[in-house]
A and B are shown apart, each in its own frame.
Chain A
Amino acid sequence: MPELRFHNLTLGYDRHPAVHHLDGAVKDGALTAIVGPNGAGKSTLFKGIVGEIKPLAGAIERNGLDVHDIAYLPQAGDIDRSFPIGVYDLVAMGLWRSKGSLGGFGRKDHDRIEAAIAAVHLTGFEERAIGTLSGGQMQRVLFARLLLQDARLIVLDEPFTAIDAKTSADLLELVQQWHRERRTVIAALHDIDLVKRSFPQTLLLAREPVAWGATRDVLTAENLETARRMCEAFDEHAAACAVAAE
């Protein structure tokens, strides 16, 4: 049973497509990388998956999953780092789906939060204000929160960009743990070598899907070159798409 299925999906802004006629499915428990040049529509696809934007055409089937049950790490989160809140409190918000605005936190919840903070190697940082953290530490905090979300489907938009090697390795270990737990993980990545090493499935996207399948078949020099060429600029005066809608 596929977790996610795209039916002739077109996503975009002001009628301009950023993801064009995407068809296919992400299998339950798959670990999929999405690769493509800047402007290829990776972030747009993620916003579509989590329901932040509605399809211009086609549909996304989520296998009965509520969009709020998808754990989503946006690329440049709009986090206000100057807000006076500590690491512990921000991580604890990962329990939102079970706690809501009013649910109390008990001993067991406290243990889960501490465990999540320990899993990203931030024990001892609980009371630190988020404004005092480095970029890598902040990403660890966000991963701890993702851990607590305990989601079946996890969507990561460039999780390892601007992060040092040690942090990337630690966080990648968490991603692989999710994969072992049979969760479905989709991540947008630029590091081709990392994808080849750690992600069994790849979707190569250049607005339109270039290739989708086993990583070694998708990430060929030929496909990557095709993707680069296909990512032409946004055309203000583009004509209406002639491909028939279903």
Chain B
Amino acid sequence: MSVLYAYFIAPFAEFEFMRRALVGSFALALGAPPVGVFLMLRRMSLIGDAMAHAILPGAAIGFLIAGLSVFAMAGGGLIAGFLIAFGAGLIARATPLKEDASLAAFFLISLALGVTIVSVKGSNIDLMNFLFGSVLAIDDPTLFLIASITSASLIVLAVIWRPLVLECVDPGFLRSVSRTGGPAHIAFLALVVMNLVGGFQALGTLLAVGIMMLPAVAARFWARDLSTMIAVAIAGAAISGYAGLLVSYHANLPSGPVIILVAGVLYVLSVLCGPFGGLLWRALPQRHLEA
């Protein structure tokens, strides 16, 4: 019993930074995966990636102006994310370039710009923290920021749920009955940016998108209806956070990447064993049904 306690609970009972990291991970696990599920279902899985890169220069400018202030960096990240989301949308509408192409152009420019800006003022360690986060260094203001973003995200998602679902399933019908499709789409992009900014402190710009997408993509193999899929994604993200912190603590590995690696392991397991479309089930010799 005490061995179990020592392994699974003691790290969190003993160290405050572990507790903060755990609470932060759980808050992220509640907000980001539902957004990830919608990104996946709208075949926009890579958009999250592009947006994550896009927030880097904003956060870097915040850092340049105010140093390592959570709110300056988050504010900068939000502004940059929104600018690029709408810039890409605008260019897609005004030129023959499709939205994904202009996003690709934007995020590559942003990434280069962001890394340059961070390097001007900060050290290589700062740069590493920007790109891969520092979940063990979460302080009270950061925790507050993540919790606020998650709460806001869940509320907004509840409000735009119906138009968002309908825009995925049958956009033509939504257009024919209401004008909410456009505003819902914009609110949804805002949710993507917000949640990435929330994950930025803990996981960095490059890994924040991992806690959003990996559990969401894995959940597809465990559920056939949307609500269950989202619940599974949240649970998967929470497990990744807990297990990732634990493994990184015991094996003395960097926490952020290990959290995402655990999410990656869960993804691979889902692809193999998930009851809906898992590969192992296909390999098993099964007789077809009577009806």
| A interface residues (Cβ-Cβ under 8 A, vs B) | 50, 52, 67-68, 70-72, 74, 77-80, 83-86, 90, 93, 96-97, 100-102, 129-130, 145, 149
Q: Is the CB of A84 within 8 A of B176?
A: no
Given that A70-B176, A101-B162 are contacting pairs, would A80 and B224 also be in contact in the complex, using a CB cutoff of 8 Å? no
A17 to B175, CA, bound (A): 24
- Of residues 226 to 278 in B, which have CB atoms within 8 Å of A's CB atoms? 226, 229
B177 at interface (Cβ–Cβ under 8 A)?
yes
Given that A83-B41, A84-B226 are contacting pairs, would A100 and B175 also be in contact in the complex, using a CB cutoff of 8 Å? no
Looking at B41, B163, B184, B224, which has the most chain A CB atoms within 10 Å of its CB? B224
Q: Is the CB of A101 within 8 A of B160?
A: yes
Q: Is the CB of A83 within 8 A of B168?
A: yes
A83 to B224, CA, bound (A): 9
A contact residues around B165 at 8 Å (CB): 83, 85
Q: Is the CB of B159 within 8 A of A84?
A: no
A90 to B169, CA, bound (A): 9
Given that A72-B176, A84-B226, A85-B225 are contacting pairs, would A101 and B171 also be in contact in the complex, using a CB cutoff of 8 Å? no
B286 at interface (Cβ–Cβ under 8 A)?
no
B151 at interface (Cβ–Cβ under 8 A)?
no
A90 to B41, CA, bound (A): 16
B161 at interface (Cβ–Cβ under 8 A)?
yes
Q: Write out, one digit per residue, whether chain B residues 124-168 have a CB within 8 A of any chain A CB (1) or not (0).
A: 000000000000000000000000000000000001111101101
B contact residues around A97 at 8 Å (CB): 177-178
Q: Is the CB of B172 within 8 A of A77?
A: yes
Q: In terms of DSSP, what is the predominant structure of the interface of chain B? A: helix
Given that A101-B159, A101-B162 are contacting pairs, would A74 and B172 also be in contact in the complex, using a CB cutoff of 8 Å? yes
Q: Is the CB of A68 within 8 A of B169?
A: no
B contact residues around A70 at 8 Å (CB): 176
- Of residues 165 to 217 in B, which have CB atoms within 8 Å of A's CB atoms? 165-166, 168-173, 175-180, 184
A100 to B173, CA, bound (A): 13
- Closest residue to B180 on the A side, CB-wise? A101
B223 at interface (Cβ–Cβ under 8 A)?
yes
A143 to B215, CA, bound (A): 36
A130 to B169, CA, bound (A): 10
Task: Give the interface size bracket for B toward A.
Answer: 20 to 34
A65 to chain B, nearest CB (A): 13
Q: Is the CB of A102 within 8 A of B159?
A: yes
B220 to chain A, nearest CB (A): 8
Q: Is the CB of A83 within 8 A of B169?
A: yes
B contact residues around A71 at 8 Å (CB): 176
Q: Is the CB of A77 within 8 A of B176?
A: no
Q: Is the CB of B225 within 8 A of A84?
A: yes
Contact residue among B170, B180, B224, B229 (Cβ-Cβ distance under 8 Å from A77): B170
B21 to chain A, nearest CB (A): 33
List 5 A-B pairs, minimum CB-CB distance, nearest first: A96-B177, A83-B169, A101-B162, A72-B176, A79-B170
- Closest residue to B220 on the A side, CB-wise? A84
B contact residues around A96 at 8 Å (CB): 166, 177-178
Given that A79-B170, A101-B163 are contacting pairs, would A50 and B226 also be in contact in the complex, using a CB cutoff of 8 Å? no
Query: Can you list 13 A-B contacts with CB-CB less than 8 angstroms, sorted by A residue number?
Result: A52-B175, A77-B170, A77-B173, A83-B165, A84-B41, A85-B226, A93-B173, A100-B180, A101-B160, A101-B163, A101-B184, A129-B225, A149-B177
A80 to B41, CA, bound (A): 9
Given that A80-B168, A84-B41, A102-B159 are contacting pairs, would A129 and B224 also be in contact in the complex, using a CB cutoff of 8 Å? yes
A97 to B163, CA, bound (A): 12
Q: Is the CB of A84 within 8 A of B161?
A: no
A contact residues around B171 at 8 Å (CB): 78
Q: Is the CB of A68 within 8 A of B176?
A: yes
Given that A68-B177, A70-B176, A101-B159 are contacting pairs, would A84 and B224 also be in contact in the complex, using a CB cutoff of 8 Å? yes
A93 to B165, CA, bound (A): 10
A52 to B41, CA, bound (A): 25
B214 to chain A, nearest CB (A): 19
Q: Is the CB of A100 within 8 A of B166?
A: no
A85 to B223, CA, bound (A): 11
- Closest residue to A82 on the B side, CB-wise? B41
- Closest residue to A101 on the B side, CB-wise? B162
Q: Is the CB of B170 within 8 A of A78?
A: yes
A contact residues around B162 at 8 Å (CB): 93, 100-102
Q: Is the CB of B169 within 8 A of A79?
A: yes
A149 to chain B, nearest CB (A): 8
- Closest residue to B227 on the A side, CB-wise? A84
B contact residues around A77 at 8 Å (CB): 170, 172-173
B contact residues around A101 at 8 Å (CB): 159-163, 180, 184
A contact residues around B173 at 8 Å (CB): 77, 79, 93, 145
Given that A77-B173, A93-B173 are contacting pairs, would A100 and B178 also be in contact in the complex, using a CB cutoff of 8 Å? yes
B75 to chain A, nearest CB (A): 29
